[in-house]
Amino acid sequence: MHIHGKLIRIVESHEEVLLDWAEARRAAGRALTLVTLDRHTDTAPALRVDFVDNEDEEPDDAQLARWQKRVLMRFRDAEVEDLDELVKRLENDEHIDAALRLGILDRALIVSSQEGRTGDATTPGAKLVRPECAPDCADAPHGSAACARRRFDAQLESATLGPALTHLGFETTPSAPYVLDIDLDTFATRRGLAPDDAAVFHELIRGACLITIAREPEYVSESLDDHDADEIEAAVLAHITQALGAVS
């Protein structure tokens, strides 16, 4: 769909955005920056599950690297439409690594709303920030259930998102093209969709060459409030409409 001339692509499972990123990269004539808002990091190594399915063993790093190289070489110069075969072999947290390895992205900047956890893969070219809590939270240390709700409630506030982007080295008026990617499962509370100050978020929307939205209804169901992917999608599209309508 287009909203005020901006291309918005909505997918059910997150790995499906790879095709749209590849098309945007072709249109731009250069690798893109990714700015993604997600509860999870989605930095799992590309094709790890595919390796296990085909080889019936858990790979070590060297085995996985050889497998990735062998498979991805087939797709490095492929037409965008031919990447659909690769997408079918990816899990919904492997697309960032694949896009970086294929040169679709030159860097991925991840703003995660989830509390820090162990087990995140380290993906070359990816950088992660997790705001510890809402800027005005006075609790010390953070980590209570109340802190978690405050963090989710404040995730789109400019006072939260602005410093997160600065930490990642991203300017909201960059010279290089970027994709804004939004996983709906990042919105665990209704309050988080209705910030008092959405200026930074709206600036991100206006500057993006493409906006991709992953519905991920299975993970949305883990939210703190009883809202579903349809409700969250409608709220996000309303933000996009408002941000773009202000300059159309």
Distance CA 223, CA 191 (A): 12
3-class secondary-structure state, position 160 = helix
**pLDDT tens, N- to C-terminus, the chain (248 residues):** 999 999 999 999 999 999 999 999 999 999 999 999 998 888 888 888 887 777 766 777 888 888 888 888 888 877 888 899 999 999 999 999 999 999 999 999 999 987 655 445 568 899 998 887 777 777 667 767 777 888 889 899 999 999 999 999 997 666 789 999 999 999 999 999 999 999 999 999 999 999 999 999 888 877 778 789 999 999 999 999 999 997 65
Q: What is the domain partition of the chain in residue ranges?
A: 2-44+94-245
Q: What residues contact 220, with CB distance under 8 A and at least 6 apart?
A: 184, 185, 187, 227, 228, 229, 232
Cis peptide upstream of residue 135 (ω within 30 degrees of 0): no
Where does 27-169 show beta strands of DSSP type E?
32-38, 105-112, 126-129
The helix (run of H) or strand (run of E) holding residue 11 is: strand 6-11
